[in-house]
Structure formats: structure tokens, C-alpha cells
């Protein structure tokens, strides 16, 4: 699947920002409708321990995503999907003091302990799956932009709150002009939340871009829409 590829010129060298890269191949024609949910038994277990370990509340979903983005690029490129999850989980467990590097190295717990009160049970797991974690939040002030307004994006390096930090502005959509098509109210800002700097909710907008403004070879009829936070955007000439 991963081959020699060309990163986007505005890429910050984080390996996950794939939109518009070239050189990746997959045989979409061979996709089977009845592909099993978990191709290998360990895939389901990897997903389950990742969800269960996060229930301790030591990190949030944005931090979990960022831990996968921070895997060394060579690991990101060669690891399978659930291998990325497991490796990022191991790093989070160590970074947050739940597991030691000695325990990872010996593949054994250094001491046994009774289940913590916060450990997920079957019942609370069902509840967690059924309720999730809504990210909509009240706003302190009304949204700056209106539907129909033209806006211009910044760059991922500008929107990320720390160098190399988490952001949801893909490189291919940097420094582009688009039109607001919806405002979704206030949402937790992942750029802050992933780094434990608070939820910092901001208005979240859907912004429509002409595909040909993003990619030189795109069909002029086509459109790409992204959900972008207010601080990613500046007003553009109408």
C-alpha cells in the first residue's frame, strides 16, 4: 500500500497528513462487501484495550490521535492500522505513568494491583459505546463568520498551538479560499485539547473549496468540503 510518495509542499513532516499525496496504491476493485469486521482476532483486542485504557481519563481522544501522529514516520508508514493504535497506546501509557518502560520491556506487570475503581466493566463499556463524547460546547461570543462568506485558510504550522502539535487543517487546504456553507456552533478545539491545554471551544464551520483550487488536475465541477475551526480562518475578499 505505501510506496514512494510525494509529501505536500506545506507538510510539516508529520506522517499522517496524507491528502493529495501521490504514490499510494490499493486494489479498490478487489474490495469484498463481506470483509470481516476484524480480519485478525488481535485487531478486535487492540481496539478494545485502546478504548478501555482511555476510560481512565488520563488522556482524551485528541491526545490519542496525536500520539499516533507522533509515531516515527518510518513506523507510521510500515505499521498496519492496529499496530499504530497499539504502539501509540504503549507510548501514552508510559507518558502518563500507568505503565513503566521496564514493564513494556519484560512484557509483564512489575506488581499486581486490584482493579482500579475507574476500570471499565462490561456495563460501563456498553454505556461508553452508546453515548460517546459529544464535543459541542457553548460559545462565549457569537461566530465571526456567516454562511456564504468567503474565508481564507492559514497553514497547519500557524494553526497548531505548539511546534509540531496537533491540528486539523490538512496541508492540502492551506492558504486556500473557500465559502462557509454551515456553522456547527462551538466545538472543542483539538489543537488545544490534544495538549491538555483545555477545551477552548471555537465556532466550527464547514468550508467548501473548488477542487480545482486545491488540486491542479481536479475536475472544475468538483468540490471538497472540510470542517474547520474559526481560528484556522481569515476573512477573504468577497
Task: For the segment 62-91, give every residue that binds another protein (CB under 8 A).
Answer: 65, 68, 70-72, 75, 77, 79-83, 86-91
Question: Among 60, 37, 56, 48, which Cα is nearest to 85's?
Answer: 48
Nearer to another protein, 134 or 237 (CB): 134
Task: Give 3-state DSSP helix, strand, coil % of the chain, rounded to 5.
Answer: 35, 15, 50
The CA–CA distances, whole Å, from 161 to 49, 120, 166, 189 equal 30, 32, 8, 10
CB of 98 to another protein, least distance (A): 6
Decide if residue 52 touches another protein (CB under 8 A): yes
Q: How many residues does the chain have?
A: 238
Would you say 85 and 68 are in contact if contact means Cβ atoms under 8 Å apart?
yes
Q: How far is residue 15's CA from residue 222's CA, in Å, rounded to a whole number?
A: 27
Could you say which residues in the range 207-236 bind another protein, by CB under 8 A?
211, 214-215, 217-219, 221-229
Nearer to another protein, 43 or 150 (CB): 43
Nearer to another protein, 209 or 237 (CB): 209
CB of 24 to another protein, least distance (A): 4
Decide if residue 122 touches another protein (CB under 8 A): yes
Nearer to another protein, 45 or 158 (CB): 45
Amino acid at each position: 500500500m505505501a510506496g514512494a510518495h510525494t509529501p505536500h509542499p506545506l507538510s510539516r513532516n508529520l506522517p499522517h497528513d496524507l491528502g493529495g499525496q501521490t504514490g499510494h496504491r490499493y486494489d479498490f476493485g478487489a474490495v469484498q462487501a463481506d470483509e470481516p469486521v476484524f480480519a485478525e482476532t488481535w485487531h478486535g483486542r487492540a481496539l478494545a484495550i485502546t478504548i478501555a485504557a482511555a476510560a481512565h481519563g488520563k488522556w482524551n481522544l485528541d491526545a490519542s490521535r496525536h500520539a499516533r501522529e507522533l509515531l516515527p514516520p518510518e513506523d507510521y508508514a510500515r505499521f498496519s492500522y492496529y499496530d499504530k493504535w497499539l504502539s501509540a497506546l504503549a507510548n501514552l501509557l508510559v507518558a502518563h505513568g500507568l505503565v513503566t518502560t521496564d514493564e513494556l520491556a519484560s512484557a509483564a506487570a512489575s506488581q499486581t494491583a486490584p482493579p482500579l475503581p475507574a476500570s471499565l466493566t462490561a456495563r460501563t463499556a456498553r454505556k461508553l459505546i452508546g453515548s460517546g463524547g459529544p464535543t459541542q460546547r457553548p460559545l462565549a461570543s457569537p461566530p465571526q463568520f456567516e454562511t456564504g462568506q468567503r474565508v481564507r485558510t492559514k497553514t497547519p504550522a500557524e494553526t497548531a498551538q505548539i511546534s509540531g502539535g496537533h491540528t486539523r487543517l490538512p496541508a492540502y487546504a492551506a492558504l486556500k479560499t473557500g465559502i462557509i456553507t454551515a456553522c456547527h456552533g462551538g466545538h472543542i478545539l483539538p489543537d488545544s485539547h490534544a495538549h491538555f491545554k483545555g477545551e477552548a471551544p471555537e465556532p466550527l464551520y464547514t468550508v467548501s473549496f473548488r477542487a480545482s483550487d486545491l488540486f491542479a488536475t481536479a475536475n472544475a465541477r468538483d468540490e471538497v468540503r472540510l470542517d474547520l475551526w474559526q481560528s484556522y480562518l481569515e476573512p477573504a475578499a468577497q
